[in-house]
Amino acid sequence: MLINCVAYREGQKLADIDVDEISDYLKDADCFVWVALRDATPDELDKMRLEFDLHALAIEDANHGHQRPKIEEYGDDLFAVIQLLEMEHGEITVGEVAIFVGRNFILSVRNRSKQHLLGVRERCEREPEVLKEGSGFVLYALMDAAVDRYFPIVDAIESALENIEEHIFDKGAARLHIQRLYDLKRRLTVVKHAVAPLLEAVAKLTAGRVPPVSAKSRHYFRDVHDHLARINAQLDTLRDTIGTAIQVSLSSVAIEQNDVAKRLAAWAGIFAVATAFAGIWGMNFKWMPELQWEYGYPIALTIIASTTIFLYLRFRRMGWL
């Protein structure tokens, strides 16, 4: 689905153009064409390949989707894949945007995502002095918009983790905490898979040999790299904290089980002593001592009760009951 197809000159919008006119505008060295697609069909991508003279392998990646975040060079052109993350009802959904960047054009193809990038175009059109720098700045603007949307998701994971930590020592809640912690770890891994490869890819645009189409915007990409590095460090910290919290929760489960075992052992000991007394005095031999004594039965019950009470208080003092 075509969202926008616009031609610019010197940072100023010329007109919304038809797809068939793209190649005509590209012949003008002073013109810059920006096209945005959403959930493009193979036919639409093939049409763009012909108009922009794009590499077939890059088109194939955009057509198949589900790509790892990356930035690749095809001659003088760049092909970038950025994952778009959205938080819906506590779950993270993953979409992506494939971006083709040439000297005087940029084509973005958004797939499986409800996030729109219209704000990026509006922002660039409000700043013609930077838009006239061309496709490199637009690539930065698209990348920056995607990366900025990672921050609320990471903050949500951090807040959920803090909430669990506040109640991590609540009795009987350890198993629930472990389940929630593993769920957070799974979400964190999704974000990590979006951030870590992109961090490595963006580094190619900030230092060393920089592709010509992004050379003028190197300092902008450095800002994106800093954001990604900060998110990546935050994710590493959260991962370590989640790992520690899981270990604490597992230890709590073991401690609770040990407490239950001690309580069971204490009650078993109390009843074992009572059973031993009753078993001995219940043998009912004719010449058994005190068998014919009228106070024998009450005294036996008193001894059993006193012993069990003594053991109960003893176990209670030891913290077993």
Which of 159-173, 250-264, 285-299: highest mean pLDDT?
A: 159-173
CA angle 26, 30, 32 (to 5 degrees): 55
Domain of residue 288, CATH code: 1.20.58.340
> What local confidence, expressed as pLDDT, does residue 212 receive?
83
d(C-alpha 34, C-alpha 181), whole Å: 43
> What local confidence, expressed as pLDDT, does residue 217 receive?
85
* 194 in any annotated domain: no
Mean pLDDT score of the chain: 87
* 23 in any annotated domain: yes
Is the pLDDT at 188 greater than 90? The verdict is yes
Of 129, 158, 176, which closes a domain?
129
pLDDT in tens, 144-156: 999 999 999 999 9
* 87 in any annotated domain: yes
Query: Per-residue confidence at 240, pLDDT binned at 50, 70, 90?
Result: very high
CA angle 2, 3, 7 (to 5 degrees): 95
* 165 in any annotated domain: no
d(C-alpha 229, C-alpha 215), whole Å: 21
Residue range of the domain that includes 61: 1-129
pLDDT in tens, 274-309: 888 777 766 666 666 666 666 666 777 787 788 888
The stretch 256-271 carries a mean pLDDT of 81
pTM for this entry: 0.79
Four-point Cα dihedral 6, 9, 11, 15, nearest 10: -30
Which is more confidently placed, 171 or 189? 189
How far from 208 is each of 137, 205, 225, CA to CA, in Å? 19, 8, 14
d(C-alpha 291, C-alpha 280), whole Å: 12
Domain of residue 26, CATH code: 3.30.460.20
Of 105, 129, 153, which closes a domain?
129
* 158 in any annotated domain: no
d(C-alpha 187, C-alpha 64), whole Å: 24
Distance of CA 43 to the CA centre of its chain: 34
The stretch 167-176 carries a mean pLDDT of 82
Contact 169, 152 (CB under 8 A): no
Q: How many distinct structural domains can be found in the chain? A: 2
Q: Which of 232, 228, 234 is CA-nearest to residue 202?
A: 228
d(C-alpha 114, C-alpha 98), whole Å: 15
> What local confidence, expressed as pLDDT, does residue 237 receive?
94
**Token pair listed for 201:** 């890819």
d(C-alpha 141, C-alpha 134), whole Å: 11
Of 112, 129, 146, which closes a domain?
129
The stretch 36-41 carries a mean pLDDT of 92
Q: Which amino acid is at 189?
A: T
pLDDT in tens, 72-122: 999 889 999 999 999 887 789 999 999 999 988 999 999 888 877 778 888
Q: Reduce the secondary structure of the chain to three states and give it as a string.
A: CEEEEEEEECCEEEEECCHHHHHHHHCCCCEEEEEEEECCCHHHHHHHHHHHCCCHHHHHHHHHCCCCCEEEEECCEEEEEEEEEEEECCEEEEEEEEEEEECCEEEEEEECCCCCCHHHHHHHHHCHHHHCCCHHHHHHHHHHHHHHCHHHHHHHHHHHHHHHHHCCCCCCCHHHHHHHHHHHHHHHHHHHHHHHHHHHHHHCCCCCCCCHHHHHHHHHHHHHHHHHHHHHHHHHHHHHHHHHHHHHHHHHHHHHHHHHHHHHHHHHHHHHHHHHHHHHHCCCCCCCCCCCCCCHHHHHHHHHHHHHHHHHHHHHHHCCC
Is the pLDDT at 66 greater than 90? The verdict is no
Burial of 239 (0-12, 13-18, 19+ CB in 10 A): middle
Query: Per-residue confidence at 210, pLDDT binned at 50, 70, 90?
Result: confident
* 238 in any annotated domain: no
How far from 60 is each of 50, 56, 77, CA to CA, in Å? 14, 6, 16
